[in-house]
């Protein structure tokens, strides 16, 4: 047998960067969690302990903070792309870089009915995500940008059923015409080349896809979470033609009718127990087939 | 020596009750985490294992869910009070009950610019809290209601300084005229007797205090988080005279200027590292002295 | 009405101190999470923003780390006491200090059957705790030391029943002669004055009480978790006469028999679903009545 | 444009199965977290809402619990494989199944120096993992088994350096000859075909690889975490020739020397601050090249 180093990568995870714009009295906030991952000519660091081609993860951290000022964070996607390009272009042993960003939402505090200039409230568990991947290919660079959201928790109190399913010897679930449907959505979409040209509005595209996801969840009469996901993904891609594909990961957060008949009380879909575990986990990849597939964008 | 049972209590923690109102096509949602704690004549359960006076925690759970329908949840404070009174009034060995409620916020989904009738989005880490305590006293019942919020994360990018502090041999902190101040506030207030009369609007009082806390945090030029807390608490009690006291617990979530001068870049309060631990922890109890103290309300 | 500052305190929470002893090739590790809380003459910091009596929490942090070397950490209780005494004795405005310590357990790595000199493995979620409180009283200092453990997860697969309990209209729980009993124990005990004299072996006392708690949980045929807690607490105090009281907080981590009869399969206490929430929460305070009560030790 | 369903899968996540063997008075415990994921002919469930080929996730849950009795859990790998094979063999629309298992460690309680028959203590954050994948291929089934561990937290107080690394304009890290190295290891290895034959001892192989990982971490003088990982992976594969490859994911949990010189105190690698974030994240895939690659085993 021969034991070999088959693959490797390294980086700095969870740099908590907070960036303010203070050009006027009305400040702006961007609150980020940034992770860098580098690929390249680092085998000697593993095999012989030679670190001469290894850019320390501490340096990557410094760069993450410095770029928040030197390049700025006009959009999270652009900032991730600037960083990924820097590592590949400026650090010789690096042949590929991925920069992942989570952005936490803040809302301006209200004072006397007006938005305050320099005070904010954290507004929700929902997180906006972005990832840029830059790789040296055959004489040219390959660039991918992902965007998305996670922990978008949605719930509908009616308009959802589940019946006509396959049964076997282990099936005990009753059919239902009316149930609570809830999920904590993770959605990630990949932009095609057109979005990487100057001037594409990542923030507007994000808002449009988020709205599409929510509207489909709300308005579609659901025959299953699977069907809901398909319509969510399809609507997102229809509204933003620069998006090549969208991946949806949706826990089915079960809400169980509490049996109040035992106490002589009716419960017409009014009182539920919200369970933690287990949960269904439904996944779908929806693609706009005018774009080529790009599995490397997701590695 | 003589070993004795000096105190005891028991209950059911973290009942996850979701309650919908479906009287019209426009549903309402209340999403709760409910904990019951009973005191009373339960020593035999400990000392001899005799359970004949012990109402099972499973029964407490059933009651929590049943009351969400039978009594309803007009306000979280009222619901907690109904439950606490039930245990003391209706279960003979129980001499005292505390019911703690956390309420999770949901916002209606927007569809085409309109609020949806039966779909919601979880809106934030912030949690509303309430606790009702009912105890048999000397021939009469003593009732206390606490209300509050937790995980209200506030941040201001300027308007905060910290200087003129005490120093000793271990002091290395530089003074600052302009820093980021951030906290994840826990505020709990106790209502006086007037609020327990019928018709008191707990929801309006909650909104008023929350607004007072946020406005003071935003607008006061802060000389220290201590001073900010005092003004937050004072303003809360001034605006809601039915509140007897307020307890504030505020982690000082440190944001450190990132030293970019090492890379030839200025950083005028624009790029920060948000640290996890350690954090300052500042506490204050602010009281309206027309009310008697009630330490037993907080036990 | 008159709004007043009724109480206040402040400190630095969750200082993550790791201390090695490297006097010989066989190193020793102590891994701590330390929180300081000071009381004293700090009202002006709140009321007028005057910080001249406020020792910064950053200074408290520095002191926590410095004392790990200057005084050392012979025992976690002694280290907490050194720190608390320092703040009260050496910092003029401080009239009371509490220092809380969590200690994380590590086990030496085994290499070729032998313990390694300088490599360890984190051994368990269980945490050892200690807290020292020092307060200026009437002309003399009052000192209290608490010790304990948390997240000690215990489970027994038989030897536990629950029946003969009180029932009401909301009771549906069946009685059981044989159930799984599991808890994630929090135990905290207070030492009397004798333990504060030089030479008391806190580590031996800790080990003795931990053993007592585990042995009682294991060997007592349980009629209820309440009864188990009483015997655990009593045994702990009997074995360590320097301990004045012990407080036990025990979630009843429910394990539900999975109904396999629906699939034609017997389940004689063999397959369970381990539920997350809700859980019973049982509490007991057991005291050795040769000691005076000391509620201030727990504030 | 044409929007298409490009991929999909679904299952039940985090079934918390606790299984006892009670054949003799000395019981045995297996404590699992089981997740099922199915692939197959489910497109109609998404596209038209037709659920007739969808085995409910609730049924998958029932099967997970039932198999813990009907097939038993002789090894976690075998149990995962039994379940995965069942879904593919017995449920017509299923063409591929993956079953992931986490196993939580318990140690027998000691009573009077002896192991107790039916009481255990949770022993550590460390988790053993296993995953079985069964897929219909061209006329034959493809089977893969992964095994591993996560949250194995290792620390060494010396025997680790980091110097001679690449520098650029953003590099400020000083070189070091002696540092603390700590990680919370995730290791996952894939077994080759020989391990899937009857009689292979998964438990022994697990213990051997775990020992190899720990011994290399402890004994290798580390020039970087990268080098340490390579030696850990190589040793694992050398000792268990049935393992085809191993993937290592290692956060570099930074411990920073606390600067005590400011207080006139020496600190020779004795007092550290354990930081939470950011952390280095080092990854390696080490392979035994007598085995063919199998990227589908990791999907």
| A52/D7 CB distance under 8 A | no
ipTM over 0.90: yes
Ligand-binding annotation for D57, yes or no, is: yes
B292: number of Cβ within 10 Å: 8
List pLDDT tens digits, range B178-227: 999 999 999 999 999 999 988 899 999 999 999 999 999 999 999 999 99
Catalytic residue numbers of D?
Answer: 12, 57, 254
A169 touching C, CB under 8 A?
Answer: yes
In chain D the first and final C-alpha atoms are separated, in Å, by: 29
Give phi and psi for B198, each to the nearest 5: -60, 145
User: In Å, how far is A169's CA from the nearest CA of chain D?
Assistant: 9
What is the mean pLDDT of the segment spanning D130-138? 93
For residues C281 and B37, is the Cβ–Cβ distance under 8 A?
yes
Q: Write b or e for each residue in C277-286: b if 16 or more Cβ atoms lie within 10 A of its Cβ, otherwise e.
A: bbbbbbbbbb
Confidence of residue C139 (pLDDT cuts 50, 70, 90): confident
DSSP C29: E
Query: In whole angstroms, what is the distance from residue C147 CA to residue D268 CA?
Result: 30
Whole-number percent of chain C with pLDDT over 70:
100
Q: What is the pTM of this model?
A: 0.98
| pLDDT score of B99 | 98
Confidence of residue C183 (pLDDT cuts 50, 70, 90): very high
CA distances from D259 to A62, B273, D173, D263 (A): 21, 20, 15, 8
Interior angle at CA B169, CA B168 and CA B171, nearest 5: 65
For residue D189, pLDDT beyond 90: yes
Confidence of residue C289 (pLDDT cuts 50, 70, 90): very high
Give the position of tokens 């956060």: D251
Q: Which residues pair with B59 in a beta bridge?
A: none
Question: Which positions in chain C touch B11 (Cβ < 8 Å)?
Answer: 280-281
| C164/B51 CB distance under 8 A | yes
DSSP B244: E
A289 touching D, CB under 8 A?
Answer: yes
Question: Which positions in chain C touch B190 (Cβ < 8 Å)?
Answer: none
What is the mean pLDDT of the segment spanning D192-206? 94
| D22/C156 CB distance under 8 A | no
Considering only CB atoms, C157 lies closest to which of D22, D157, D266, namely D22
In this structure, what token pair is assigned to residue C37? 């809380």
Query: In whole angstroms, what is the distance from residue C64 CA to residue B277 CA?
Result: 14
- How far does CA C50 lie from the centroid of its chain? 36
| Burial class of residue B266 (count of CB atoms within 10 Å of its CB; 0-12, 13-18, 19+) | exposed
C262 touching A, CB under 8 A?
Answer: yes
Query: In whole angstroms, what is the distance from residue D57 CA to residue C107 CA?
Result: 41
| A122/B125 CB distance under 8 A | yes
For residues C234 and B3, is the Cβ–Cβ distance under 8 A?
yes
User: In Å, how far is B42's CA from the nearest CA of chain C?
Assistant: 9
User: In Å, how far is D274's CA from the nearest CA of chain C?
Assistant: 5
| pLDDT score of A137 | 80
Low-confidence ranges of chain B (pLDDT < 70): none
| pLDDT score of B171 | 98
Nearest residue to C84 via CA among C281, D37, C71, D130: C71
Question: Which positions in chain D touch B262 (Cβ < 8 Å)?
Answer: 172
Ligand-binding annotation for C162, yes or no, is: yes
Query: In whole angstroms, what is the distance from residue A5 CA to residue A17 CA?
Result: 34
Whole-number percent of chain C with pLDDT over 90:
96
A58 touching D, CB under 8 A?
Answer: yes
Give the position of tokens 């999909």: D8
Question: Which positions in chain C touch A169 (Cβ < 8 Å)?
Answer: 263
| C168/B55 CB distance under 8 A | yes
What is the mean pLDDT of the segment spanning C190-215? 96
Confidence of residue A208 (pLDDT cuts 50, 70, 90): very high
Say whether the peptide bond before residue D278 is cis (omega within 30 degrees of 0).
yes
Mutate to test the interface with C, among A168, A261, A262 (most CBs of C within 10 A): A262
List pLDDT tens digits, range D204-216: 999 999 999 999 9
Mutate to test the interface with A, among C167, C265, C277 (most CBs of A within 10 A): C277
| B271/A70 CB distance under 8 A | no
Binding-site residue numbers of A for O2 are 57, 252
- How far does CA D72 lie from the centroid of its chain? 21
| A51/D7 CB distance under 8 A | no
Nearest residue to D55 via CA among D21, D94, D25: D94
List pLDDT tens digits, range D237-280: 999 999 999 999 999 999 999 999 999 999 999 999 999 999 99
User: In Å, how far is D25's CA from the nearest CA of chain B?
Assistant: 24
| Burial class of residue C52 (count of CB atoms within 10 Å of its CB; 0-12, 13-18, 19+) | exposed
DSSP alpha helix (H) spans, chain A: 43-47, 57-70, 76-90, 193-196, 202-219, 225-239
For residue C1, pLDDT beyond 90: no
In this structure, what token pair is assigned to residue B256? 């450190």
- Residues 8-37 (D) with a CB less than 8 A from some CB of C: 15-22, 27, 29, 31
Local structure of A19: helix, strand or coil: strand
| D47/A164 CB distance under 8 A | no
User: In Å, how far is D119's CA from the nearest CA of chain A?
Assistant: 25
DSSP A164-208: S----TT--PPPBSS--EEEEEEEEEEE-HHHHSTT--HHHHHHH
Nearest residue to B144 via CA among B73, B205, B77: B77
Say whether the peptide bond before residue C278 is cis (omega within 30 degrees of 0).
yes
| pLDDT score of B172 | 98
| C170/A277 CB distance under 8 A | no
| Burial class of residue D239 (count of CB atoms within 10 Å of its CB; 0-12, 13-18, 19+) | middle
- Residues 94-153 (A) with a CB less than 8 A from some CB of D: none
Binding-site residue numbers of B are 57-58, 162, 179, 226, 252
Mutate to test the interface with B, among A58, A121, A255 (most CBs of B within 10 A): A121
In this structure, what token pair is assigned to residue D138? 């061209």
DSSP D176: B
List pLDDT tens digits, range D19-42: 999 999 999 999 999 999 999 999
DSSP B136-191: E-SSSEEEEEEEEEEEEEEEESSSB-B-S----TT--PPPBSS--EEEEEEEEEEE
List pLDDT tens digits, range A95-132: 999 999 999 999 999 999 999 999 999 987 799 999 99
Query: In whole angstroms, what is the distance from residue A264 CA to residue A259 CA?
Result: 10
What is the mean pLDDT of the segment spanning A176-189? 98
| pLDDT score of D270 | 98
Give the position of tokens 């699939």: C263
Q: Which domains does chain B have, with CATH numbers?
A: 1-135 (3.10.270.10), 137-299 (3.10.270.10)
Local structure of C52: helix, strand or coil: coil
List pLDDT tens digits, range D147-167: 999 999 999 999 999 999 999
For residues C272 and D18, is the Cβ–Cβ distance under 8 A?
yes
Say whether the peptide bond before residue D49 is cis (omega within 30 degrees of 0).
no
| C164/B50 CB distance under 8 A | yes
């Amino acid at each position: 047998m021969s034991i070999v180093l088959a693959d490797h990568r390294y980086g700095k995870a969870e740099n908590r960067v907070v960036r303010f714009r203070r050009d006027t009295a009305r400040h702006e906030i961007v609150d980020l969690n940034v992770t860098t991952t580098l690929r390249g000519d680092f085998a000697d660091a593993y095999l012989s302990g030679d670190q001469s081609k290894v850019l320390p993860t501490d340096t990557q951290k410094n760069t993450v903070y410095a770029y928040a000022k030197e390049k700025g964070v006009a959009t999270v996607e652009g900032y991730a792309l600037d960083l990924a390009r820097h590592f590949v272009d400026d650090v010789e042993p690096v042949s590929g870089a991925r920069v992942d960003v989570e952005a936490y939402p803040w809302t301006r505090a209200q004072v006397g009915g007006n938005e305050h200039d320099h005070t904010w409230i954290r507004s929700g568990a929902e997180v906006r995500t972005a990832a840029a991947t830059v790789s040296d290919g055959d004489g040219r660079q390959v660039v991918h940008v992902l965007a998305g959201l996670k922990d978008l928790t949605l719930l509908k109190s009616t308009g959802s059923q589940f019946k006509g399913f396959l049964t076997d010897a282990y099936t005990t679930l009753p059919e239902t015409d009316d149930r609570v449907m809830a999920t904590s959505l993770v959605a990630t979409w990949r932009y095609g080349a057109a979005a990487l040209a100057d001037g594409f509005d990542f923030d507007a595209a994000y808002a449009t896809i988020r709205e599409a996801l929510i509207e489909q969840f709300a308005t579609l009469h659901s025959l299953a979470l699977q069907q809901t996901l398909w319509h969510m993904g399809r609507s997102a891609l229809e509204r933003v033609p620069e998006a090549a594909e969208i991946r949806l990961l949706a826990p089915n957060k079960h809400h169980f009718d509490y049996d109040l008949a035992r106490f002589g009380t009716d419960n017409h879909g009014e009182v539920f127990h919200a369970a933690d575990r287990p949960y269904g986990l439904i996944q779908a990849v929806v693609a706009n087939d005018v774009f080529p597939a790009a599995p490397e964008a997701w590695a």
